[in-house]
Chains A and B, each alone.
Chain A
Amino acid sequence: MTLWSLGLVRGVVGQIVGFAAGMALVIASRLLFGFDPVWNQEPALVGGIIIGSIGFLIGVGALTDWFKWMRGIETPLHHGPPHGRPAWTRYFGVDYNHKVIGIQYGVTGIILLGIGGMFAVIFRTELAASGFQFLNPSNYNTYLSMHGWAALAAILLGIGGMANYLVPLMIGAEDMAFPRLNAFAFWINVPGIITLLMSLNYGWDGGWTVYPPLSVLGPVGYQFTFWAVFLIGLSSILGSLNLIVTILRMRPPGMSLFRMPIFVWAVFATSLIQLTATQFIGQAFLMLSFERLLGMGFFDPDKGGAPILFQHLFWFYSHPAVYIFVLPGLGIISEILPVFSRKPLFGYRWIALSSIAIALVGFLVWGHHMFTSGYGEYLRVPFMISTLLVAVPTGVKFFSWLGTMWGGKLSFPTPMLFVLGAISVFLIGGLSGPILATTATDLFLHDTYFVVGHFHATIFGGFVFPFFAAIYFWYPKITGRMYDETLGKIHFWLMTPAFWTMSLGQMSVGVMGMRRRIADYDPALGVEFGHVLVTIAGFTIAFSVLLMIYNLLHSAETGRVAGNNPWRSRSPEWQIPSPAPEHSYASPITVVGEPYDYGIPNSTYVHMAPLAAADD
């Protein structure tokens, strides 16, 4: 085995070669069309970004099969680890098994979450005292903006990980509907992430929202962000397309839509948003890129453009995007809660439909981010009402979670603790929502740390806590071994109070007048103590996540063997061996009952061939 046989290495080399080729291409065409000067940094870099990303995809091998199809060569799907190389190498190259791709998504997501968190800890430390300690305003802004997009990309990857690993397993499918597209959709993230990290070299300072005119006038680092987000968005679109076809077409006999595991419903709702709304942010970011490159005046009032148009296009994706981030997590909560309550999920159909309702209402609320933007005042009340409407399906979920736990035989291993933590944190986010949705109060709270506190509570409650719960819950199915329960519990008891402190602390400094995205503040505001608390809490969360990563790595070798079904779950993926074999189901499964009839005697969910036949 050589280093060159790893797809990732070939991809990075491909990106470097492509980057150089793209820059050369731009220079050559500027020569050809008589532009003066021939060397212009920004177009050359954009050419490098685009061709470099294609170079990565060619290098890693994500396009190889499609190139063969174009020449009329059939390519049968290869199963199992690559020939003549250690099994772990498959995770570093193109592999079409959905479980491998799910792990690739998940691990990349955790790494990027770590990078995003690192940026947060850096500028959080700066904020712990007023005045400038070790950052200047310009790199403070860069780190803050990088924290935004690194963390958001990490969330999209984490969701991709959960969806890719779990959905085919949960619906008893052999794989996703389009395995090659699945691999492509993962690998296009990697040049996107590399491009995003390259922006650090040039800096950009607009926050993750990159509003013009600042993003048109700012440094060239913006171009890297635009194209990185474009690539990661393309992955979202293709991945969600694949998931929708898989969910609608690959279910086993007997699994009607209302007999699917609830997580599959959540992924379906998320995918509907990802498939459609993502186009708007891709388009908006392309428009920004070309406004910078060619002076196209979309958002430039001097040329008849309108900066507010960008906000409309941006939030038409970026508000539903918040539901992209939280719906799968809320699905995880509903999925895990009945297992540890030993009771049926309360109101299954309502939960399933509330995910769809949140997704659909989510398309009608984007204007609540723009109450202070100067758009037509007549728009404020309709957007306020539609935003408050989101509380209804979300309330349905809370009601169902309480109803599920009510009178159940509760047990509290780490995944259950994280689910309960998620509910408590999401409640903080949920209750602070209507305050911001109401125009009158939002006019005062807009652009303060209150918004930061609200947003982080919804994202931690809707994604981070459920994501960690899912990692601990399915860890035995992925590795075949148990994680360390004590370390898991320490992780939870460090992270949850720290997060409450952080979120409530952010909200209270916001109410006291702390504006967001500001590197310094006036000590007379009286927020310094609050910032110290939030910073300590931030470090505690970071430390607890490192503890989890140690736990996951360490237990993969030393943990006790978990067995097929350590949680006594009814879901089909727990009826097969752990770790899940290459072909998940030895023979097709049939669904004969309801998914969450825990505690009901003689109820079965799936029929499957006896395990003895499974070892091929």
Chain B
Amino acid sequence: MTTVTAALEGYTQQLRNNRMGLWLFFISEAFLFGGLLVTRFYLWGNTRPELDQTIGLIVTGVLLLSSFSMNMAETAIEHGDRRTFLGGLAVTAVLGLVFLIGVMVFEWGLFPAIYEGHLKPGDNVYGAVVFAMTGMHALHVISGIIFIAIVWNLGRKGGFSPERHWGVESCAIYWHYVDVVWIFFYPALYLIGTVAH
């Protein structure tokens, strides 16, 4: 075996290990988010708090859109199109930031000077669970945006090729995963049950 094929084989091996590791991490995380959903249904049952439906719809739409731009970026690097790749990543990060602003500023009321939120974490069990679920999800969105920023910076310096872009692939799958989690969280927080007072 020549050194080139040996190196290539080593890379493929590592890539397969990496993929399995990432999916195992997602399985593990599913239990974390599942635990939050269990908490929600245990404590709220068939009721829900009165949240701002417009904000909920907007942030959900924004997050779904970001998955498209992320997919665009990943497809672009597979075809060696660096411009679209960097553009797609940037759009995804901006949409992610819009999501965060929607949740933190308008749903949480983090800055009362801009917008007064109507739920506080310490109010009652509704505030507690809303903040726990959106907070844990927001933590993942923030880490996803940091991940995108790192990948964008590496991509700008020419770090990825159509053959070798595990960094992009893992970043994209992670982003989609966080997106899918929100698809479960959105109805659990905004849609299921009757409004409680």
The residues of A with any CB-CB pair to B shorter than 8 Å are 70, 72, 177-178, 181, 237, 241-242, 244-245, 248-250, 275-280, 282-284, 287, 290-291, 294-298, 300, 303-306, 309, 312-313, 316
A-B contacts counted at CB < 8 A amount to 100
Chain A CB within 8 A of B197 CB? no
**CB atoms of B42 and A306 under 8 A apart:** yes
**CB atoms of A297 and B24 under 8 A apart:** no
Task: Please classify the interface of chain B as helix (H, G, I), strand (E, B), loop, or mixed, using the class held by over half of its residues.
Answer: helix
**CB atoms of A280 and B35 under 8 A apart:** yes
**CB atoms of B122 and A295 under 8 A apart:** yes
**CB atoms of A283 and B36 under 8 A apart:** yes
**CB atoms of B128 and A276 under 8 A apart:** no
**CB atoms of B154 and A298 under 8 A apart:** no
Chain A CB within 8 A of B129 CB? yes
Chain A CB within 8 A of B142 CB? no
| Given known A-B contacts A294-B122, A305-B43, A275 and B128 have beta carbons under 8 A apart | no
**Smallest CB gap from B42: residue in A:** A309
**CB atoms of B43 and A70 under 8 A apart:** no
**Smallest CB gap from B29: residue in A:** A279
Choice from A70, A245, A248, A313 contacting B39 with Cβ under 8 Å? A313
Chain A CB within 8 A of B8 CB? no
Task: Please classify the interface of chain A as helix (H, G, I), strand (E, B), loop, or mixed, using the class held by over half of its residues.
Answer: helix
- Inter-chain CA distance A277–B124, complex, in Å, is 28
- Inter-chain CA distance A277–B35, complex, in Å, is 10
1/0 per residue B118-134: CB within 8 Å of A? 00011111111101100
The residues of B with any CB-CB pair to A shorter than 8 Å are 13, 16-17, 20-21, 24-25, 27-29, 31-32, 35-36, 38-39, 42-43, 121-129, 131-132, 150, 154, 157, 159
Can you name 27 A-B residue pairings with CB atoms under 8 Å?
A70-B150, A72-B157, A241-B21, A241-B24, A241-B28, A245-B24, A249-B13, A249-B17, A250-B17, A276-B27, A276-B28, A279-B28, A279-B31, A280-B35, A283-B35, A295-B122, A296-B127, A296-B128, A297-B122, A297-B125, A298-B39, A298-B125, A304-B124, A304-B126, A309-B43, A313-B38, A313-B39
**CB atoms of B128 and A277 under 8 A apart:** no
- Inter-chain CA distance A248–B19, complex, in Å, is 13
Choice from A237, A242, A275, A304 contacting B43 with Cβ under 8 Å? A304
- Inter-chain CA distance A236–B164, complex, in Å, is 30
| Given known A-B contacts A72-B154, A276-B27, A303 and B125 have beta carbons under 8 A apart | yes
**Smallest CB gap from A296: residue in B:** B128
Measured CB to CB, the closest approach of chain B to A23, in angstroms, equals 21
- Inter-chain CA distance A314–B127, complex, in Å, is 22
Residues of A within 8 A of B42 (CB): 306, 309, 312
- Inter-chain CA distance A599–B121, complex, in Å, is 67
Given A245-B24, A277-B31, A297-B123, 19 other A-B contacts at CB below 8 A?
A: A72-B159, A178-B17, A178-B21, A242-B21, A245-B20, A249-B17, A279-B28, A279-B29, A279-B32, A279-B35, A280-B31, A282-B32, A296-B132, A297-B125, A298-B129, A298-B132, A306-B42, A306-B43, A309-B43
**CB atoms of A305 and B128 under 8 A apart:** yes
**Smallest CB gap from A248: residue in B:** B20
**CB atoms of B121 and A296 under 8 A apart:** yes
- Inter-chain CA distance A276–B29, complex, in Å, is 8
- Inter-chain CA distance A298–B25, complex, in Å, is 27
**CB atoms of A295 and B121 under 8 A apart:** yes
**CB atoms of B125 and A275 under 8 A apart:** no
**CB atoms of A249 and B16 under 8 A apart:** yes
- Inter-chain CA distance A304–B127, complex, in Å, is 11
- Inter-chain CA distance A300–B124, complex, in Å, is 9
The 7 closest A-B pairs by CB, nearest first: A295-B122, A304-B125, A296-B128, A279-B31, A279-B32, A177-B17, A283-B35
- Inter-chain CA distance A531–B154, complex, in Å, is 65
**CB atoms of B132 and A287 under 8 A apart:** yes
- Inter-chain CA distance A312–B121, complex, in Å, is 22
- Inter-chain CA distance A316–B34, complex, in Å, is 12
| Given known A-B contacts A72-B157, A294-B122, A249 and B31 have beta carbons under 8 A apart | no
**Smallest CB gap from A305: residue in B:** B125
Residues of B within 8 A of A277 (CB): 31
Choice from A70, A248, A276, A291 contacting B31 with Cβ under 8 Å? A276
Q: In the complex, which of the residues A275, A277, A304 has the most CB atoms of chain B within 10 Å of its own CB atom?
A: A304
Measured CB to CB, the closest approach of chain B to A487, in angstroms, equals 42
Measured CB to CB, the closest approach of chain B to A297, in angstroms, equals 5
Residues of B within 8 A of A295 (CB): 121-122
Residues of B within 8 A of A303 (CB): 123-125, 128
Choice from B24, B31, B39 contacting A309 with Cβ under 8 Å? B39
- Inter-chain CA distance A426–B148, complex, in Å, is 51
- Inter-chain CA distance A390–B31, complex, in Å, is 23
Residues of A within 8 A of B159 (CB): 72
**CB atoms of A275 and B16 under 8 A apart:** no
Measured CB to CB, the closest approach of chain A to B197, in angstroms, equals 12
